[in-house]
Amino acid sequence: MSVITTERQGDVLVITSDNPPVNALGAAVRQGLEAGIKEGVADPSIKAMVITCAGRTFFAGADITEFGKPMQEPGLPTLIEMIEAADKPVVAAIHGTALGGGCEVALGCHYRIAVPSAKIGTPEVKLGLLPGAGGTQRIPRIAGVKLALEMTAKGDPIPVKVAQAAGLIDRLAGEDSLLADAIAFAREVADTRPLPIASQKTATPDPDAVAAFKKENARRFRGFDAPAANIACVEKAADGSSFAEGIAFERQEFMKLMMGVQSAAQRHIFFAERQAAKIDDVPADTKLRDIKRVGVIGAGTMGGGISMNFLSAGIPVTIVEMQQDALDRGTGVMRKNYEGSAAKGRIKPEAVDQAMGLLTPTLSLDDLADCDLIIEAVYENMDVKKELFGKLDAIAKPGAILASNTSYLNVDEIASATKRPEDVVGMHFFSPANVMKLLEVVRGAKTAKDVLATVMALGKKIRKVPVVSGVCPGFIGNRMLSQRQIAANEMLMQGATPQQIDKVHVDFGMPMGPFQMSDLAGVDIGWHRDPTRIESIRDALAAEGRWGQKKNAGFYDYDEKRQPSPSPRVAEIIEEFRAKSGNEKRDISDEEIVERTLYPMVNEGAKILAEGMAQRASDIDVVWIYGYGWPVYRGGPMFWANTEGLSKIVAGLEKHGYEVAPLLKEKAEKGERFA
């Protein structure tokens, strides 16, 4: 059965694509569209054509799985030129998300009609690419330079009403009558001549808009290759060049990006993120438990942030605290966060009360009896957790899921405090929990498969990226992070400075380095609180009250605007420690810092894989992209290791005296890569 079918509706030919799940413009779709257009053009009784898609969406882009493989004709640019050159009007009927190549096909059509709920966009930049089938040349010609910059260099889809106002969409259809309205529209314009052709329009130069756009987004685009290429193509469309010259430039820039490491990394993460949602031994059709109400224990920073995720998804939350003032403080912070988002226009004003209206604060654990999922976010202490889970075991209804937000404690031991370990799972959120996208789902030895499947699906529903981790200290992310922190502290003792080490990480593309991160999280996190016991530089800082940003002093000094500056006092403390430790002070190169902070992370990643604590290497990459700000254009630690070269990493680890993980050594020796 061809993925493309054609059907006559009187004098209108309807060309329908049915290529689930998202009508990706793979070879068969392109070939079918080509045949459909040829059929319509050749048949004298056909006055106009409509291109439409079955299923949940109009074409969501080129088929990304075809990238890097030999291209089958017709290519997308050729197909779109053919549509545009047709001597009868072609109408694109859009629903769902017309993205990338799908948006470009629509712009190659003479007219576009869409349902009000549809979106249109060119997200290629999120794959390290640009719209390579004429999008960078047709969008500015229709909608102007400003919107073209937004659409191409940022990649976020726009609602069709905004697109209509900009001339990208000609008409809105009824939400449930797209095809009928499209056929009527096609019939209405059947005799219109000349046909409106985007490539024949001209774009007005707007150098001020380009300059302002670059300035506004400099920080956002830092490290990425693709945004600048998108901007250059849009500029080309409006600098008086012909359409053909613009297309040639677009193709050249597209191929440069396609061949680059950044796009390979970003495409890797596109699929890795979707792969992470799948659990190898849990069938996709596993029946999920119903989650109608969620209980959260602890209204502190984590408990409040966790609750907001569910409230924002329309799921009622019962939140428990020990003291009334702590409860009031916690719910107050949640309301303030919502009001802040409303003030910034991120949510509608009425959404504040809608969300807070779903919240039930209480001082009694018993009020959790009707919850389908209970998540604890209390103090990180095993005895405290076990005592609490023992109580929950008595309170929670049968079938309720009991989850711990612990960031490193043993979930199996916590589960052993209940008679229902199969209902216990770890749900490790990252601070701020209402913002950070990563959710480490910690699978206990006895965690039931439907509990896992339910939590993974719920994770997606609250707009998180859930990744499964086994039970081990620090799970996937923190376990690898601790290797970096250990190495970073060692190098302080040998002559490096916090600012030097942090700069290497920021230049690498991380949002911040190890010491800036410690200052943000709090130097006192996990500190033994005994100011007389000074066994590390961190102990010395904590003992002096240098707890980080919250104290305007940590590894850095901070001004009233929280701007960090190197601290003479910290330099003294480090010097005292180094002298006491007998370490020789020496120059440490930036290259050595990369080797000693990132290679051990890869090494630990290989151990995590070998132990089965992560299902696949790409899961580790997803953890670091969404939990720790690893630059997406480097694809995550394991993908990066492949580009760095596993043999080089093994050599670097051995040079610095590390025991190399057997899996890493084996792959390096065999010339293999992490999948």
Catalytic residue chosen out of the listed positions 84, 124, 595, 644: 124
Q: What sign results for the dihedral spanned by CA atoms 82, 83, 84, 88? A: positive
**Does residue 637 touch ligand T1G according to CB under 6 A?**
no
**Does residue 137 touch ligand T1G according to CB under 6 A?**
no
Query: Of residues 4, 13, 64, 622, which one binds ligand T1G by CB under 6 A?
Result: 64
Three-class SS string for 444-512? CCCCCHHHHHHHHHHHHHCCCEEEEECCCCCCCHHHHHHHHHHHHHHHHCCCCCHHHHHHHHHHHCCCC
Q: Which is nearer to ligand T1G, 228 or 333 (CB)?
A: 228
Number of residues that bind ligand T1G (CB under 6 A): 25
Query: Cα–Cα distance between 466 and 273 in angstroms, integer?
Result: 9
Q: Which is nearer to ligand T1G, 127 or 373 (CB)?
A: 127
3-state class (DSSP) for residue 295: strand
The DSSP letter of residue 241 is: -
Our answer to whether residue 188 is catalytic in this structure is no
Query: Of residues 32, 40, 131, 600, which one binds ligand T1G by CB under 6 A?
Result: 131
**Does residue 97 touch ligand T1G according to CB under 6 A?**
yes
Q: Which two tokens stand for residue 247?
A: 């297309």
**Does residue 127 touch ligand T1G according to CB under 6 A?**
yes
Q: Which is nearer to ligand T1G, 152 or 516 (CB)?
A: 152
Residue with tokens 């923190």: 478
- Alpha-helical regions (H) of 120-260: 135-143, 145-149, 160-165, 178-189, 207-216, 226-237, 243-259
Q: Is the CB of residue 14 less than 8 Å from the CB of residue 183?
A: yes
**Does residue 24 touch ligand T1G according to CB under 6 A?**
yes
Catalytic residue chosen out of the listed positions 84, 104, 250, 376: 104
Window 2-21: contact mask with ligand T1G (x via CB under 6 A): -------------------x
3-state class (DSSP) for residue 598: helix
Query: Cα–Cα distance between 364 and 320 in angstroms, integer?
Result: 6
Query: Cα–Cα distance between 46 and 507 in angstroms, integer?
Result: 59
**Does residue 61 touch ligand T1G according to CB under 6 A?**
yes
Q: Is the CB of residue 402 less than 8 Å from the CB of residue 430?
A: no
**Does residue 632 touch ligand T1G according to CB under 6 A?**
no
Q: What is the nearest approach in angstroms of ligand T1G to the Cβ of residue 135?
A: 6
Window 229-268: contact mask with ligand T1G (x via CB under 6 A): ----------------------------------------
Three-class SS string for 544-555? CCCCEHHHCECC
Q: What is the nearest approach in angstroms of ligand T1G to the Cβ of residue 287?
A: 19
Query: Cα–Cα distance between 20 and 493 in angstroms, integer?
Result: 57
Q: Which is nearer to ligand T1G, 135 or 548 (CB)?
A: 135
3-state class (DSSP) for residue 565: strand
What is the Cα 297 distance to its own chain's centre? 28
Per CB under 6 A, the segment of 120-128, 326-334, 356-364, 410-418 that binds ligand T1G is 120-128
Strand extents, DSSP E, 81-174: 90-94, 97-99, 111-114, 119-121, 158-159, 171-172
Our answer to whether residue 560 is catalytic in this structure is no
**Does residue 514 touch ligand T1G according to CB under 6 A?**
no
**Does residue 133 touch ligand T1G according to CB under 6 A?**
yes
Query: Of residues 32, 40, 89, 100, which one binds ligand T1G by CB under 6 A?
Result: 100
Residue with tokens 């549509």: 83
Q: What is the nearest approach in angstroms of ligand T1G to the Cβ of residue 120?
A: 12
Query: Cα–Cα distance between 519 and 521 in angstroms, integer?
Result: 6
Phi, psi for 536 (deg, rounded to 5): -150, 170
Query: Of residues 36, 40, 89, 101, which one binds ligand T1G by CB under 6 A?
Result: 101
Query: Of residues 4, 49, 50, 76, which one binds ligand T1G by CB under 6 A?
Result: 76
Per CB under 6 A, the segment of 128-136, 183-191, 430-438, 611-619 that binds ligand T1G is 128-136
**Does residue 60 touch ligand T1G according to CB under 6 A?**
yes
Per CB under 6 A, the segment of 127-135, 238-246, 536-544, 616-624 that binds ligand T1G is 127-135
Per CB under 6 A, the segment of 122-130, 232-240, 418-426, 550-558 that binds ligand T1G is 122-130
Q: Which is nearer to ligand T1G, 62 or 183 (CB)?
A: 62
Query: Of residues 274, 287, 292, 533, which one binds ligand T1G by CB under 6 A?
Result: 274
**Does residue 622 touch ligand T1G according to CB under 6 A?**
no
Q: Which is nearer to ligand T1G, 93 or 534 (CB)?
A: 93
Q: What is the nearest approach in angstroms of ligand T1G to the Cβ of residue 58?
A: 10
Q: What is the nearest approach in angstroms of ligand T1G to the Cβ of residue 267?
A: 9
Q: Which two tokens stand for residue 523?
A: 């130097």
Site for ligand T1G in 196-235 (CB under 6 A): none
Q: What is the nearest approach in angstroms of ligand T1G to the Cβ of residue 496?
A: 41
Query: Cα–Cα distance between 44 and 196 in angstroms, integer?
Result: 21
- Alpha-helical regions (H) of 313-379: 324-343, 349-356
The DSSP letter of residue 633 is: G
For residue 270, which of 3, 639, 644, 643 has the smallest C-alpha distance?
Answer: 639
End-to-end CA distance of the chain: 34
Query: Of residues 132, 227, 514, 564, which one binds ligand T1G by CB under 6 A?
Result: 132
Query: Cα–Cα distance between 379 and 549 in angstroms, integer?
Result: 21
Q: Is the CB of residue 673 less than 8 Å from the CB of residue 291?
A: no
Q: Which is nearer to ligand T1G, 21 or 345 (CB)?
A: 21
**Does residue 62 touch ligand T1G according to CB under 6 A?**
yes
What is the amino acid identity at position 19? N
Query: Cα–Cα distance between 117 and 122 in angstroms, integer?
Result: 17
For residue 305, which of 358, 365, 377, 357 has the smallest C-alpha distance?
Answer: 377
Q: What is the nearest approach in angstroms of ligand T1G to the Cβ of residue 19?
A: 10
Q: Which is nearer to ligand T1G, 131 or 330 (CB)?
A: 131
Helix (H) or strand (E) holding 360: strand 359-362
Query: Of residues 19, 83, 109, 124, which one binds ligand T1G by CB under 6 A?
Result: 124
Q: What is the nearest approach in angstroms of ligand T1G to the Cβ of residue 156?
A: 11
Q: What is the nearest approach in angstroms of ligand T1G to the Cβ of residue 461?
A: 11
Q: What is the nearest approach in angstroms of ligand T1G to the Cβ of residue 61?
A: 3
Q: Which is nearer to ligand T1G, 184 or 313 (CB)?
A: 313
Per CB under 6 A, the segment of 97-105, 289-297, 395-403, 574-582 that binds ligand T1G is 97-105
Q: Is the CB of residue 607 less than 8 Å from the CB of residue 476?
A: no
Three-class SS string for 446-458? CCCHHHHHHHHHH
Q: Which is nearer to ligand T1G, 21 or 283 (CB)?
A: 21
Q: Which chain residues interact with ligand T1G by CB under 6 A?
A: 21-22, 24, 60-65, 76, 97, 99-101, 104, 123-124, 127, 129, 131-133, 135, 271, 274
Which residues participate in catalysis according to the annotation? 104, 124
